[in-house]
């Protein structure tokens, strides 16, 4: 159960990071 939550949290963090990266790239272009 805890492992599944950790994986979900990790995936969410990765998705958020991707969004931030895209926003940052847009801003610097």
Classified as helix, coil or strand, 3 is helix
With a cut of 80, say whether residue 21 has pLDDT above it.
yes
Q: How far is CA 21 from CA 4, 10, 11, 25, in A?
A: 26, 16, 15, 6
Q: CA angle, corner 11, sides to 29 and 16, nearest 5? A: 30
Confidence band for 5, pLDDT divided at 50, 70 and 90: very high
Gap between the Cα atoms of 5 and 23, Å rounded: 27
Q: Is the pTM of this model over 0.85?
A: no
With a cut of 80, say whether residue 4 has pLDDT above it.
yes
């Amino acid at each position: 159960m805890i492992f599944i939550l950790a994986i979900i949290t990790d995936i969410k963090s990765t998705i958020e990071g991707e969004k931030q990266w895209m926003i940052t790239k847009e801003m610097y272009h």
